[in-house]
Chain A
């Protein structure tokens, strides 16, 4: 199976090299956990390597998502929309489930074999558009089986009520049916900075089975660390900046990356270096960013 880079710093290694192409990934998390940021990074990375991106949004208006993408350092998000490589589909839950029932099969027949990245954010209103559990399952199963024929699909799911309780019915159905399930655990009411991620399943991969701390750095995005550690304050800002400069000087002339990927990476690296007041260990995050592009420090 072909692995494609996830766009989330540090995640590929935990997924046995990346996300399998033509699979469905379900990302579960409570409000503020970073589901949309995750999804945006996933699309951005695909666009950088020439894949088309479709963002099906059932809650937020596209303008709001673009605004947040920019906050996470994606300055030229709009240029992809203008060129037609990225498309926002703004739909209601009912309208989208009508589309699934009536049009999806024909659409997939016409486009089968394409490899776009498709985000459905969030999937929850689609489930709620039908009453019966059995119908919900049919609908989601059909949606996931069909859409993965035309690309690699990422759906987000809202986690309600008690955090880390994955037994809610609106979570169980997609968790069973998705090829990969990633849980973003964010206990906003307990400790605002306590974020952990676990890969609950990832078909056909030797994936990590433990909880991994993750963080969201404004201007750069979501990154996952390998191990739990005490929050490290970056004491030596000069050291981080020197390290960044060294890395950038090395990467730029190598020509391994296209211009878009390179400027994305530089921006992420610079932002992280500038975030020295945060508890992110800048040097580790730097390694994670480089890793996404197959580079070492």
Chain B
């Protein structure tokens, strides 16, 4: 069944066929995911969609060029996509099916101050500008509020003397179909891993997490992926 009327069969078919990767048996022994650091990069992207190479490097304590190298390998193997947005390049795990506006929303949340400000607004809806500034520091707050409002992650409501901030529509619309989308994402990922002959096995894990075991040679590794939320990594502390 079609999800909405504005989608067309032709463009959808084209997208799926062009994603139909080649899977030659003799290339099986060389999967991009056999490298541990690269797996960590992939996991990080699954929890924090649309981040920059610099953020990956910072979060995983590796050098910038190392992060960029692993990202390039993952993009080449089709596990990750890395579209350019203006000056910077944002990376996402392939198959999440994010639209342009969703990418913009996730990109706005990527700045540390912005995700903290958003977290504050969710925990205590209706904080005023000065209250947010006290929590985040003068320099950070102004920019975070501006970016979050632009991405519709915060809405400002005039309340007499104050302007109060509430969570906007962008985050909830992103989360609305998250479970279904993450299921589709995992399905695609599993097929991709199978094509690499890493015999993936899926297990539900405690919390909103799914674990995928992969095997290569005698080794075995586990990847932890989000199961219910696209923002889980960004808003980790309230989940």
Contact = CB atoms under 8 A, between A and B. Distances in A.
Interface of A: 52-54, 56, 84-89, 91, 94-96, 98-99, 102-103, 106-107, 110-114, 116, 150-151
B-side interface mostly? helix
A107 B8 contact: no
Interface stretch (B11-19, B27-35, B63-71, B129-137): B11-19
B1 A99 contact: no
Contacts of B23: 98
Given A102-B191, A110-B1, A54 B16 contact: no
Nearest to A100: B20
Nearest to A112: B1
Interface in B20-65: 20-23
B8 A52 contact: yes
B10 interface: yes
Given A52-B9, A53-B10, A99 B17 contact: yes
B20 A111 contact: no
B2 interface: yes
A151 B13 CA distance: 13
Given A84-B8, A110-B2, A54 B22 contact: no
B222 to A, nearest CB: 25
B6 to A, nearest CB: 10
B16 A103 contact: yes
21 contacts: A52-B8, A52-B9, A87-B11, A89-B14, A89-B18, A91-B18, A94-B22, A95-B22, A96-B20, A98-B22, A99-B16, A102-B20, A103-B17, A107-B13, A110-B1, A110-B2, A111-B9, A111-B12, A113-B1, A114-B2, A116-B10
Contacts of B11: 84, 87
B10 A86 contact: yes
A98 B21 contact: yes
